[in-house]
Structure 1
Amino acid sequence: MSTIDEAGLLAIASRLQRLSELIRKDGQQIYKAHQIDFEPKWFPVMYALHSRTVLSVVEIAAEIGYTHPSTISLLKELEKQKLIQSKRDKTDERKRLIQLSNKGKQLVEQMKPVWSIMTAAIADLTDTQHNLMQAIIEVEEQLKKKSFSQRAQEITEKRKTTT
């Protein structure tokens, strides 16, 4: 058992990051096994644009739950790979509208059967007594109601009043 494992709940973010990295690494291997040149970190943007067709940068950030700077960074990578294209919004010249390029659309079509395989493999992996996906949904809902830092602040204030 590693030190991080021994830390229990205190290391939950580290454990989730570790789990995420393991799944991403395997995801990349799955893409390679299907002769697809794709970085798993691009998935949220590509999937959002596949689902919604045209989105502004701000809308993409909201859709994928990333910060604006993180989203911009991913968009630059995807633009460099020619998987997306952007144009100025006719109604608001400051706004950039992003969509999949023809190359991006072709890549999505190539990935769809692989996504089906990945979904089945993840379903098998997470089909446990405490279903990980359901737990993640529940924790995300809890965070919407009250953040981790708000909860810690309340505990701090409670402890101050009881000592």
Structure 2
Amino acid sequence: MSVIDDLGILAIATRMQRLAERMRKDGLLIYKAHGIDFEPKWFPVVYTLHLKSAMSVVELANEIGYSHPSTISLLKELEKLKLIRSAKDKTDERKRLLQLTDKGKALITQMEPVWQVMIAATTQLIDTQNNLMKAMEEVEQQLEIQSFYQRAKVIMATNQAKA
């Protein structure tokens, strides 16, 4: 047990990040084992553009739930690799529309069978008494109702009122 493990609920965000990093690291190994040069961090952008075909930067950031700067950073990497391209929107020249290139589409075709393997392996991992996906959905719903920060503010105000 590490200090982080001993902290319990206080370190929940750190433990979720640690879990995500382990999954990304193994995801990278799975892609490499299949001869695919792909970083798991690119997945939300590439997959979303695969489904939606053309989106603005703002639309994409909202769709994947990332900040605008984080999304821009990923887009720069993917454009450099020629997996995506951007073009000015014909109806609004201030907007850039993003889409997969032919190289990006070919990569999707190569990755689809690998995703089936990843789905099966992940299903085995989370098939526990406290199914992780269901728990995450519940917590995300709770955060939609009231943020972590808002909950803490209410608790602090209640504690101050009692003092």
Fold match (TM-score > 0.5): yes
Name the counterpart of 1:60: 60
Residue type of the alignment partner of 1:95: K
- Correspondence for 1:160: 160
Q: What residue number does 1:115 align with?
A: 115
Q: Deviations over 1:69-122 (max 9, x none)?
A: 000000000000000011100111000000000000000000000001000100
Task: Give me the whole-angstrom Cα distance separating, in 1, the residues matched to 2:131 and 2:60.
Answer: 28
Q: Please show how residues 77-92 of structure 1 align to structure 2 within 5 Å.
A: 77-92=77-92
The Cα shift of 1:124 comes to 0.4
What's the offset of the Cα at 1:162? Answer: 1.1
Q: Determine helix, strand or coil for the equivalent of 2:93.
A: coil
Query: Distance in 1 between the 2:72 and 2:81 partners?
Result: 14
Give 5+ residue unaligned stretches, structure 2. none
- How many residue pairs get aligned? The number is 163
CA distance in 2, matches of 1:83, 1:112: 16
Counterparts of residues 10-49 of structure 1 (less than 5 Å) = 10-49=10-49
Q: Give the TM-score normalised by structure 1.
A: 0.99
State the distance in 2 between where 1:126 and 1:100 align. 31
Which TM-score applies when normalising by structure 2? Answer: 0.99
Deviations 1:108-154 (A, max 9, x none): 00000000100010000000000000100110111011000000000
| Deviation by residue 1:50-69 (Cα, 9 ceiling, x = unmatched) | 11111100011011100000
Q: Which runs of 4+ in 1 moved over 3 A?
A: none
RMSD: 0.4
